[in-house]
A = this chain, B = another copy of it.
């Protein structure tokens, strides 16, 4: 490939560190599509003959079929996917294969292939995220009025509905889809024709190859086109944020399936046992999803480190771009599939959730709000009165609603039976009717809107 000037072959360590075929073989379909578009353009512009162009396109088509049938032998000595394909093309169509590399370089070739791959990955993850949103929305619909404790600091704060809680994740995954969508739009410029770094003297038509491959336009600067890996970094950053969201949901599933909470039961299909403790039902899938946020964050960091301080244009350092990107996409795909399965199968336990709202004086805020609304107390003063009531209930070892009215009135004489009604969790939930609030009617409204916005 470039031996003319070299008198000695690579050392073993060199061959091993340099070869990328084990990683970049995954680009085969994109590489062939890009080469076909390039060959067709070269023929269309008369840079190569129509005959050669057709032979190349047909030969590449045959190679694609060979690879997909599993019959292609990838040769590490040929270093990467590009040389493996081109070498096979030479076997199939002879010296005309050598004309394919006219007016291009591996630098623009790999940048094009890789962008196409990331674009496909984005499309896949968008569909997966939509499926996860659907599972969440369906559960939210079912549990629009199922009352559970809402937590801050993992301390019971105010009652919410389980449907409302799940819709919070629908919002997060909706933003994730937005980030992937923006990344897709930004990456959709075609590097082909940038050649090694400077463009080419052949009269190519960059608009034609860009259009043939579904790009919005050719990249405007050839140096940038071959040395830009923003698209991989932005893809990984979007994936990292998605896995952070997944890790939050996974952590909640781990919590909710403990004996202490028992809010939900995961299906057997997403639970494992123990090799030593026969009673265990471990939420392994949830734990693994939670953990994999680390893997994706690590991959993002890795490529940021690689790119830091690299002079233009292409440097071999950039070959370290594909392994982490592929791993991020595989990891994300797996996490999304597992999470969608867990959510779809999940059985909530409304009784356990409701019981948990009995602990922790969860409607104290409602008493404070009542004091503001009915007695006209400034909120800060109402908060203080309620704190005293909570302290009394804690001393007595009872709930707020179980305190005798007389005792409440000893703290604030104007408290009456109406206030006690505000202390029921059902009343509390129903009262929070502000836009985006947890009242069942609001949650149902948001379920409908979410279906429209996201599915």
Q: Does A289 reach chain B (CB closer than 8 Å)? A: yes
Q: Does A383 reach chain B (CB closer than 8 Å)? A: yes
Contact of A356 among B6, B13, B157, B259 (CB under 8 A): B259
Q: Does A200 reach chain B (CB closer than 8 Å)? A: yes
Q: How far is it, in angstroms, between the C-alpha of A257 and the C-alpha of B447 when the chains are bound?
A: 34
Stretch at the interface among A57-65, A111-119, A426-434: A426-434
User: Which residue of B is nearest A231, CB measured?
Assistant: B175
Across-interface contacts of A323 in B (CB, < 8 A):
295
Q: How far is it, in angstroms, between the C-alpha of A282 and the C-alpha of B197 when the chains are bound?
A: 15
CB distance from A357 to the nearest CB of B (A): 10
Q: Does A288 reach chain B (CB closer than 8 Å)? A: yes
Interface 0/1 of A50-70, CB less than 8 Å to B: 000000000000000000000
Which chain A residues in 170-186 approach chain B with CB under 8 Å?
170-172, 175, 178-179, 182, 186
Across-interface contacts of A160 in B (CB, < 8 A):
197-198, 223
Q: Is the CB of A4 within 8 A of B278?
A: yes
Chain A interface size, under 10 / 10 to 19 / 20 to 34 / 35 or more: 35 or more
Across-interface contacts of A340 in B (CB, < 8 A):
13
Q: Does A279 reach chain B (CB closer than 8 Å)? A: yes
Stretch at the interface among A24-32, A96-104, A402-410: A96-104
Q: Is the CB of B359 within 8 A of A449?
A: no
Contact of A311 among B182, B248, B267, B314 (CB under 8 A): B248
Q: Does A261 reach chain B (CB closer than 8 Å)? A: yes
Contact of A5 among B261, B269, B367, B394 (CB under 8 A): B394
Q: How far is it, in angstroms, between the C-alpha of A269 and the C-alpha of B356 when the chains are bound?
A: 27
Q: Is the CB of A301 within 8 A of B298?
A: yes
Q: How far is it, in angstroms, between the C-alpha of A369 and the C-alpha of B268 when the chains are bound?
A: 25
A303-B294 contact in complex given A5-B390, A14-B341, A179-B234, C-beta closer than 8 Å: yes
Q: How far is it, in angstroms, between the C-alpha of A386 and the C-alpha of B279 when the chains are bound?
A: 8
CB distance from A261 to the nearest CB of B (A): 5
Give the number of copies in the complex.
4
A338-B152 contact in complex given A304-B294, A305-B305, C-beta closer than 8 Å: no
Which chain A residues in 282-316 approach chain B with CB under 8 Å?
282-285, 287-316
Across-interface contacts of A449 in B (CB, < 8 A):
220
User: Which residue of B is nearest A344, CB measured?
Assistant: B11
Q: Does A71 reach chain B (CB closer than 8 Å)? A: no
CB distance from A429 to the nearest CB of B (A): 8
Q: Does A438 reach chain B (CB closer than 8 Å)? A: yes
A155-B379 contact in complex given A178-B186, A198-B160, A298-B301, C-beta closer than 8 Å: no
Q: Which of A244, A360, A436 has the most chain B CB atoms inside 10 A of its CB? A: A436
Q: How far is it, in angstroms, between the C-alpha of A269 and the C-alpha of B5 when the chains are bound?
A: 13
CB distance from A415 to the nearest CB of B (A): 14
Which chain A residues in 65-86 approach chain B with CB under 8 Å?
82-83
Q: How far is it, in angstroms, between the C-alpha of A442 and the C-alpha of B449 when the chains are bound?
A: 49
Contact of A105 among B275, B293, B319 (CB under 8 A): B275
Q: How far is it, in angstroms, between the C-alpha of A349 and the C-alpha of B66 when the chains are bound?
A: 50
Q: List 27 A-B contacts (CB under 8 A).
A: A2-B275, A4-B387, A8-B268, A11-B270, A17-B288, A98-B380, A150-B312, A151-B311, A152-B197, A152-B313, A153-B280, A154-B254, A164-B198, A165-B312, A171-B224, A193-B434, A233-B244, A248-B310, A278-B364, A278-B365, A278-B368, A278-B387, A283-B316, A291-B316, A293-B309, A298-B300, A298-B302
Among all A-B residue pairs, the 10 with the closest Cβ atoms: A199-B437, A4-B387, A2-B273, A298-B302, A98-B378, A294-B305, A279-B361, A201-B431, A98-B380, A291-B317
Given A11-B269, A220-B449, A298-B299, 11 new contacts (CB under 8 A): A17-B338, A151-B313, A153-B283, A153-B315, A155-B259, A168-B227, A198-B432, A222-B432, A230-B241, A241-B304, A298-B305
